């Protein structure tokens, strides 16, 4: 089971989002149903900045990033899914999809 069509605030590969707590969304490959998910967000060095833990839910859209973001923060996120029978594959985050997101604030007018 794989997560496909990962988006952040409806955007496929956002490079600038002016939203304090952006929302994540995805679909299951082949239209399958999920019984749970786990989202992990990390910085560009691979340091985990948020881990949702296993969340028992079939929800695949509008999952909010719960931390207040700083301007120009680059976040990589990945999602692990459990199938409709509650089964996962061996190895943590083995079946995963990753996306990168960059957050910008209008109030921050610094040059890149």
Check pLDDT > 60 for residue 66. yes
Sheet holding 23-28: strands in order across? 3-8, 23-28, 63-64
Please give the Cα distance from 10 to 105 (Å, whole number).
18
pLDDT of the residue at 25: 92
pLDDT of the residue at 35: 93
- Residue-wise over 73-107: b if at least 16 C-beta within 10 A, else e? bebbbbbbbbbeeeebeeeeeebbbebebbbbbee
Contact of 35 with 82, CB cutoff 8 Å: yes
Query: Is the pTM value of this prediction over 0.85?
Result: no
pLDDT band with cut points at 50, 70 and 90 for residue 59: very high
Mean pLDDT, residues 52-63 taken together: 94
pLDDT in tens, 76-100: 888 889 988 888 743 334 334 455 5
Mean pLDDT, residues 41-54 taken together: 90
Check pLDDT > 70 for residue 102. no
Contact of 102 with 73, CB cutoff 8 Å: yes
pLDDT of the residue at 57: 95
Q: Across the chain, what does the average pLDDT equal? A: 78
pLDDT of the residue at 109: 44
């Amino acid at each position: 089971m794989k997560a496909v069509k990962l988006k952040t605030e409806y955007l496929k590969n956002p490079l600038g989002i002016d939203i304090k707590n952006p929302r994540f969304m995805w679909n299951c490959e082949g239209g399958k149903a999920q019984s749970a998910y786990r989202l992990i967000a990390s910085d560009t060095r691979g340091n985990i900045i948020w881990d949702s833990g296993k969340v028992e839910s079939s929800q695949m859209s509008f999952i909010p990033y719960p931390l207040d973001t700083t301007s120009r923060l680059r976040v990589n996120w990945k999602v692990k899914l459990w199938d409709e029978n509650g089964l996962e594959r061996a190895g943590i985050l083995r079946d995963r999809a990753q996306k990168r997101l960059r957050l910008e604030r209008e109030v921050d007018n610094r040059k890149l």
